[in-house]
Amino acid sequence: MKGHHARRISTVDVVIIGLGYVGLPLAQEAVRAGLRVTGLDIRQATVDGLNAGRSHVDDLSDADIAAMLAGGFRAVTNVAGIAGTGPDVIVICVPTPLSESDGPDLTAVRAATETAATLVRPGCTVILESTTYPGTTDEIVRPMLEKASGLSAGIGFHLAFSPERIDPGNETYGIRNTPKVVGGITPACTEAAADFYARVCDTVVRAKSAREAEMAKLLENTYRHVNIALVNEMAIFCHELGVDLWDAIRCAATKPFGFQAFYPGPGVGGHCIPIDPNYLSYKVR
């Protein structure tokens, strides 16, 4: 039975929507795992570049893209370019910038969900990786998919949230060796998404539901936001006091428990760290 299962899942068709710094490394690891992967991105230049073997993401080289193409990867700009009866797994990896109202701008998530809905077939698994507020998967993505497909989430198809943990430029941790948090809208949905991620990640961590998985991402980023903001404040008064903060951090970091080193920088860094706490306050309001 085990052999049969491995053979069945080895031909999994995966569609990844959004081929940026999150979607592209995921596509690379899925190809390496022997899965059939199609990438979908609305930017024609991105798609043309990838199909020609050119990377637009710092963490992947042109040689990496060439290896993906050799492994069967193709990029397309719309669902018309996706062959077959529909993918087994659809992963949404599109950006969620801040809207005018300080909540997340879900324009790209909604558009990607509309695209995913046209590909949903009975038994497939849809996973949202875009950072957002708790409840998005269940309250926004789920009804859109159900309405368009005529299937019920948790019954006709699986739906889950799995926060991206890409750290651009990190040469130690990538998709494969960074634990992957997964939370479905039902326990069966969690398991279906976990089955997929077990192919591309060494460790899969199951959340109680999609909401806990969504919250985990905000907790991780808010933790960094608060601590980076703290050392930036300390840098100001250490300068006024004539104290070398870097040396103080070096000393504090020798404590084997209860402390993690954060360093001063220009603001709090990254594209999401300064934004994500707003998603939390938006939802709570």
Q: Active-site residues: which are they?
A: 272
Torsion of CA 263, 265, 267, 273, to 10 degrees: -50
> In terms of C-beta density within 10 A (0-12 exposed, 13-18 middle, 19 or more buried), how is residue 181 classed?
buried
Q: 25: phi > 0 → left, psi -120 to 50 → alpha, else beta; which?
A: alpha
Residue 141 has φ and ψ, to the nearest 5°, of -70, -45
Residues 6+ apart with CB under 8 A from 230: 262
Helices marked H in the chain:
2-9, 23-32, 44-51, 62-70, 107-119, 136, 142-149, 187-200, 210-241, 245-252, 276-284
Range 75-78 contact pairs with CB under 8 angstroms and sequence separation of 24 or more: 75/19, 75/38, 75/39, 75/40, 75/41, 75/46, 75/47, 75/50, 75/51, 76/38, 76/39, 76/40, 76/47, 77/40, 77/41, 77/42, 77/43, 77/44, 77/47, 78/40, 78/115
Length of the chain: 285
How far apart CA 180 and CA 176 sit, in angstroms, is 9
Q: Kindly report the number of other CB atoms within 10 A of residue 173's CB atom.
A: 12
